[in-house]
Structure 1
Amino acid sequence: MKKPYFPLFVDLSEKKVYVIGAGTIAKRRIRSLTDFTDHLIVVAPEVNPELNGLEQEGKITILRKKFELQDIAEADIVIAATNDHSLNGEIYDYCIEQEILVNVCNDKKKCDFYFPGLAMKDNVVVGVTANGTNHKMARKAVEKIREMLEEWL
């Protein structure tokens, strides 16, 4: 039986975090990450207005182009969130070879880490995961924790 993931809190403020893709899953990851790093780079040929707004606010940098592996040569963390399984696999292989932490959104076997459900209030941050197996249960737990944080803080 595989052991659960250890909840590790990491200072991302100076880490270069790259998100490849700008679809629905990528947008969720980007929204979550903007509170934690000042170096969030999105690589996608096209992005939606919400991401344009985040760029105008200075929360993200967008490279509007077709992705190339050299784009992530300086990365500390990469999130592969394209709808192209083959490209996500190439990104994963490159990151493993270069020892860059990677999360492939459509393949939990190709993830060095999972994205937790987040509950935040002031400086209190709670991350919840069900090890990628039961998103509904994790989401329900996060909702309850958010309610408790609102009551307590």
Structure 2
Amino acid sequence: MSNDKKPYFPLFVDLNEKQIVVVGAGTIAKRRIRTLVSFTNHLTVIAPEVNRELLDMEKAGMLRIKRKNYEREDIYDADYVIAATNDHQINSDIYSACKCMGITVNVCSDKTKCDFYFPGIVQNGNVVIGVTASGSDHKEARKTVEKIRSLFPEEELK
């Protein structure tokens, strides 16, 4: 068998009843949160400070915010964790804790510490298309997502 690195397999997962925790509320965290709220009703954000957009999402019942610094107990009940702080040590600690507890984790700042990648998403009703370049070429993946979006009339896209 060849040792060539294979591309990532597109695996679609039902997140409806999964507990998802996002640690952090910066630019990358917000991008992940905006994507995830369409797929789960059990999203918790852990951050000492959050902006108006996330507060509005909380008011709308789309997520829960714990305004605090991360502690390991915050992820005990999680099925998936996104480590998106601006502190590499905290992100690394989250990764280690998740690996010990068997929690699927994505460390936004380190692709070697990701059990999964976030795809570019095109959604048309219940049809969801995910695009990835297996973590290697984000610009090419983004161009492909835009090409796919152009195939749908704007009013059909979510």
- TM bin (shorter chain): over 0.9
Q: Equivalent residue for 2:115?
A: 112
Q: Equivalent residue for 2:49?
A: 46
Q: Equivalent residue for 1:89?
A: 92
CA shift at 1:40, angstroms? 0.4
Q: Secondary structure at the match of 1:118?
A: strand
CA distance in 2, matches of 1:96, 1:21: 19
In structure 1, the gaps of 5 or more residues are none
Match of 1:25, as an amino acid? Answer: I
CA distance in 1, matches of 2:153, 2:127: 11
Match of 1:24, as an amino acid? Answer: T
CA distance in 2, matches of 1:3, 1:94: 28
Residue-by-residue CA offset, 1:13-62 (whole Å, 9 max, x unaligned)? 00000000000000000000000000000000000100001001000100
1:1-153 alignment runs, 5 A limit: 1-150=4-153
CA shift at 1:2, angstroms? 1.8
CA distance in 2, matches of 1:40, 1:149: 29
Q: TM-score, normalised by structure 1?
A: 0.97
Q: TM-score, normalised by structure 2?
A: 0.94
Match of 1:134, as an amino acid? Answer: D
In structure 2, the gaps of 5 or more residues are none
Residue-by-residue CA offset, 1:74-111 (whole Å, 9 max, x unaligned)? 00000000000000000000000100000000000000
Match of 1:140, as an amino acid? Answer: K
CA distance in 1, matches of 2:52, 2:5: 41
Contact 1:121 1:150 in 2 (8 A): no
Match of 1:78, as an amino acid? Answer: V
Q: In angstroms, what is the RMSD of aligned CA positions?
A: 1.0
Residue-by-residue CA offset, 1:93-138 (whole Å, 9 max, x unaligned)? 0000100000000000000000000001111100000011111100
CA distance in 2, matches of 1:66, 1:122: 37
Contact 1:18 1:79 in 2 (8 A): yes
CA distance in 1, matches of 2:71, 2:128: 34
CA shift at 1:3, angstroms? 1.7
Q: Number of aligned pairs? A: 152
